[in-house]
Amino acid sequence: MVSTTDERASEEAVHEYADYESALEDFVSRVNASVSLIEWRRREEKR
């Protein structure tokens, strides 16, 4: 069992995974989403 939390570290943000690989996939997915949001905001600021 692997427990993770997001950047808010609230009780609702805690997730449990059966294995390390699943937890890592979720982490990478959240990082990619954050990067996409940052890139989108930068493009919007240039308009």
Number of Cα atoms under 13 Å in the Cβ half of residue 36 = 6
| Per-residue model confidence (pLDDT) at position 2 | 80
Place of tokens 């990619």: 32
Per residue in 9-45, pLDDT (tens digit) is 666 777 889 999 998 998 899 889 999 999 999 999 9
Q: Which helix (H) or strand (E) holds 2?
A: strand 2-4
Q: Which of 14, 42, 13, 10 is nearest to 2 (CA)?
A: 14
What confidence tier does 7 reach under pLDDT thresholds 50, 70, 90?
A: low
